[in-house]
Amino acid sequence: MAEQDYYQALGVARDASADQIKKAYRSLAMKHHPDRNPGDKSAEDKFKVIQKAYEVLSDPEKRRAYDQFGHAGVQQGGMGGAGAAGFGDIFEDIFGDILGGRGGRTRGGGGGGTRSQRGADLRYNLTLDLEDAVFGKTVELHVPTWVHCETCKGSGAKPGTHPTTCATCKGHGQVHIQQGFFAMSQTCPTCHGSGQTISDPCTQCRGQGRIREEKTLSVKIPAGVDEGDRIRLSGEGEAGLNGGPVGDLYVQVHVREHGVFKRDGADLYCEMPMSFATAVIGGELDVPTLEGHVKLKIPAETQTGRLFRLRGKGVTSLHRSGRGDLLCRVLIETPVNLTAQQKALLREFDKDINADPTRHYPKSDSWLDAVRHFFRK
């Protein structure tokens, strides 16, 4: 009986990429694995075929031979039937991320290698006053972190000595367990996943290759940062293991509430109390900004709640050009602690002005009309 074409077995085209072949194998292997289909001889036979297909098509040299000579090109030297150990390597390559496989191991010569690990990213919560967030500021950060040991240059071994390849895992950092068709990997108990053992550890870092230290960083905070913004400082995180790259530091910005201003993007808002007399006859108000006071002209007959816009007195935004505005809402403040004479004057004023309410209170008159219309309905 002729063997099935390997491309057909995986359901891929002959010009499929390595990623497409890997993806197809992964899907089919999960579907037809004997552990998922106990007692199903058909599923077991299909699984053996796709196992053979992936072993050949995932290897560039075997794939070229198969493309040129077919099955005969890959049957020399026992290529046609993958053994238990061969399948274990294939299955781990595909499902290693699920089963705790090789991860970040860097392959070395002679079948072994060291497993490097990238340093962790760090987060620093920075709380700023509104003024510093608006105009920017250079701040000094004190960050506790792991840094490479200068004594052993990060190797973990005493100066003059070197780590050796772990005899248990042969430098892979993983040991493999084979149970029938199912292969699993776990972290090597001897080297704890590093792929190396250190017989004479560095006295400074005790074989870790890094030490705990507090770094002091001078960081320039750009003008216009806002609550929730994050600044990335590349290479300022924790040192990696076994020569792995350093992680990053993320500065998370928080802005304190201000006693006068509220921020909305590039704009600032504030509320200003205003006297009744100023609202009626007009005048000027001293309005605070983040750069000092400015004069705001109040026209006569200004109603409470009116919003005035002071252009260019807001925030320089990081996300758009130009500067925002300051929006000032005026609120008429009712006078308190009046004397008897002041109360008498107000009663006289109120009596006089209510002689012609339509002229002096147009909004009240229109509001009363609306109320009357509502009740008539």
pLDDT, tens digit, for every residue of 142-201?
Answer: 999 888 888 888 888 889 888 888 888 888 888 887 666 666 778 888 887 778 888 899
Give the per-residue pLDDT at 31.
86
Give the per-residue pLDDT at 100.
38
Give the per-residue pLDDT at 249.
93
pLDDT per residue as tens digits for the range 282-325: 999 999 999 999 999 999 999 999 999 999 999 988 777 788 99
Give the per-residue pLDDT at 367.
63
If we measure between CA atoms, which residue out of 368, 268, 253 comes closest to residue 315?
Answer: 268
Give the per-residue pLDDT at 326.
95
In sequence order, what are the beta bridge partners of 211? 147
Whole-prediction pTM value?
0.58
What is the C-alpha separation between 33 and 46, in angstroms, rounded? Answer: 9
Give the per-residue pLDDT at 83.
38
Give the per-residue pLDDT at 138.
95
Give the per-residue pLDDT at 242.
73
pLDDT per residue, tens digit, the chain (377 aa), is 457 889 999 999 988 998 899 889 888 888 888 777 888 888 888 888 988 889 889 888 888 888 877 776 676 443 333 333 344 444 444 444 333 343 343 333 334 445 677 888 999 999 999 999 999 999 999 999 888 888 888 888 889 888 888 888 888 888 887 666 666 778 888 887 778 888 899 988 888 888 898 999 999 999 999 999 999 999 999 988 877 788 999 999 999 999 999 999 899 999 999 999 999 999 999 999 999 999 999 999 999 999 999 999 999 887 777 889 999 999 999 999 999 999 999 999 989 888 887 777 777 766 666 667 667 76
Q: Please, what are the domains in the chain?
A: 6-82 (1.10.287.110), 117-159+203-256 (2.60.260.20), 263-334 (2.60.260.20), 337-377 (no CATH)
Give the per-residue pLDDT at 371.
66
**Long-range contacts, 171-174 (Cβ 8 Å, 24+):** 171/108, 171/111, 171/112, 171/113, 171/114, 171/195, 171/196, 172/102, 172/105, 172/112, 172/113, 172/115, 173/102, 173/103, 173/105, 173/115, 174/92, 174/100, 174/101, 174/102, 174/105
**Residue 192 token pair:** 């704890």
